[in-house]
Amino acid sequence: MGETIGFIGLGNMGTPMANRLLDAGYKLVVFDTRDEVVAPFVARGAKRTSSAADAGSEAETVLVSLPTPDVVQKVVAEVAQGTAVRTVVDLSTTGPRVAAAIGAELKGRGLTFVDCPVSGGVGGAKAGTLAVMISCPRATFDRLEPMLNHIGKVFFIGEAPGAAQMMKLCNNLMSAAAMAISAEAITAGVKAGIDPAVMVDVINVSSGMNTATTQKFPKSILNRRFDYGFATGLMFKDVRLCLEEAEGMGLDLKTAQAVRSVWQKVMDELGPDSDFTRIIEVIEKPAGVTVGKIG
C-alpha cells in the first residue's frame, strides 16, 4: 500500500486504531509523550517522531486521538507547523464549537480538517468495528474512506466541521444515560433481594436491554473488575459538551440535565481517572448493597 500516515495519541483508543492501520499495510509515523506506548510501534516498523510538528513534516495525512479539547487544539496547531501535512483527521471528542474553530484555523493555513469522532470503545477499536463519524468536504471523505474502513464502519454526517461531533455527543449522552439508569435499576433490584446476574440476563432479553447491560455489567461490573477502559472524566466531559450545545440552541433537556448531575456526582466522589463502570459504587453505597462479586 505504501502510503505514510501520521498518528498522534497512542492511548486506550489510539493504540488499537493505529495497530489496525499497520495491519492493513500503511506506513506510520507516530508520536506520543510516553515512550512506553511508542516502543511497540517502533518494533513493528513505525517511525517515531520527536514532536507533533515533526509528524506533520513526515506525512500528508495526520490522525490525532487525544483526550480533551484543549489538548487537541494545542497538538493540531503544532501539527499544522509541519511542512508536509495537508489533512488533519481528529478522532477525538471535542464538541462542535471546538471542531468548527479548528476547521477555520486550518482552512486559513490552506489545510483540510476532518472532524472524525469514533464510538464503540476499546473493544470496537481492537475489532475494527467502531462507528466512524465524519464531517468534511465530500471529496476528502471519498479519499479517506478506504483507510478509515480499517478501523470501523464509516458514516458521512455532513460537510461542516462540528456535525460529526454533535452526532457523537448525542450518542454518548444516550450511553451515559443507559449506564446511570441501569446502575440505579439493578441496585434497586439487588436491594429487593434479586441476584444482579439474573437481572442482567432478564433485561438482556427484554425491553430494557442497552449497552450497559449487554457490555459493561457482564464485562466489568458484576465481576467487580471495573476495567472497561473508559474514564469517568471523559464520560462527564461528553455529557457536559452535549448539554452545552443543546442549551446553546435553546433546548431544555431535563433528562440530560439529570444525567449530567449523576456523572458530576461520580466525578466528585471517585475522580476523573476512575473507570466509568465504578458508577455502580456511587449508586450502591447509600443503598447498603453490593452489586456483583469477585470471581
pLDDT by residue (tens digit) across 84-143?
999 999 999 999 999 999 999 999 999 999 999 999 989 999 999 999 999 999 999 999
- Which 3 state secondary structure label does DSSP give 23? helix
CA distance 137 to 129: 24
pLDDT at position 36 over 70: yes
pLDDT by residue (tens digit) across 148-158?
999 999 999 99
Report the amino acid identity of residue 210: N
pTM of structure: 0.91
Return the percentage of the chain with pLDDT > 70, whole number: 99
pLDDT at position 21 over 60: yes
pLDDT at position 2 over 70: no
pLDDT at position 295 over 80: no
CA distance 122 to 14: 9
122-135 as b/e, with b when 16 or more CB fall inside 10 Å? Answer: bebbbebebbbbbb
Q: Reply yes or no on whether 168 is catalytic.
A: yes
Phi, psi angles (nearest 5°) of residue 89: -110, 115
pLDDT at position 1 over 80: no
pLDDT by residue (tens digit) across 160-205?
989 999 999 999 999 999 999 999 999 999 999 999 999 999 999 9
Q: Are 65 and 9 in contact (CB under 8 A)?
A: yes
How many C-beta neighbours within 10 Å does residue 106 have? 22
Cβ within 8 Å of residue 292, ≥6 positions away: 196, 197, 217, 221, 222, 223, 224, 280
Q: What is the mean pLDDT of residues 52-79?
A: 96
Report the amino acid identity of residue 36: E
CA distance 140 to 278: 40
Q: Which three cell numbers stand for residue 74?
A: 494545542
User: ∠ CA 225-216-219 to the nearest 5 degrees?
Assistant: 50
CA distance 295 to 277: 17
Q: Are 221 and 200 in contact (CB under 8 A)?
A: no
User: Of the candidates 261, 291, 289, 266, which has an alpha carbon nearest to the alpha carbon of residue 279?
Assistant: 266
Domains of the chain (ranges; CATH) run: 4-160 (3.40.50.720), 166-287 (1.10.1040.10)
pLDDT averaged over every residue in the chain:
96
Helix runs in 11-136, H state only: 14-23, 35-43, 52-58, 69-79, 96-108, 121-127
CA distance 225 to 293: 9
Q: What is the mean pLDDT of residues 224-240?
A: 95
Cβ within 8 Å of residue 112, ≥6 positions away: 86, 87, 88, 106, 136, 137, 140
How far is CA 35 from each of CA 10, 19, 32, rounded to the nearest angstrom? Answer: 10, 16, 7
Give the pLDDT score at 161: 87
User: Of the candidates 30, 52, 33, 54, which has an alpha carbon nearest to the alpha carbon of residue 42?
Assistant: 30
Q: Which three cell numbers stand for residue 152?
A: 470501523
Catalytic one of 47, 74, 168, 285: 168
How far is CA 164 from each of CA 30, 45, 132, 285, rounded to the nearest angstrom? Answer: 25, 32, 9, 37
Give the pLDDT score at 158: 96
Give the pLDDT score at 294: 79
Note the maximum CA span of the chain.
64
